[in-house]
Amino acid sequence: MELKKRSIKIHVWNGVMYTSETWTMTQTEMNHMEAFEILICRRVLKISWKDKATNTEILRRVNDKRDILDAKKEKV
């Protein structure tokens, strides 16, 4: 699981962060980025969107916290 998380952070998050550098981050874009982050975590855990699992439950299972918007705020 740790290897999968590191691989996602290196490849996926860097790509997303690179393409979002020029965006004006509104609340809508922030919501989309957070939804994308949870979607990736669900795919890693092989949990369908139909399964009853909250976002906090998904993050707990991955042993992680929300990273993508925190990284975006650090760059600004």
User: Residues 13-56: pLDDT tens digits?
Assistant: 777 777 777 777 788 888 888 888 888 888 888 888 788 888 88
Q: Which residue has the tokens 């795919």?
A: 43
pTM of the model: 0.63
- Pairwise CA distance, residues 16 & 1, whole Å: 21
The predicted pLDDT at position 76 comes to 47
Beta-carbon contacts of residue 30 (< 8 Å; ≥ 6 apart): 69
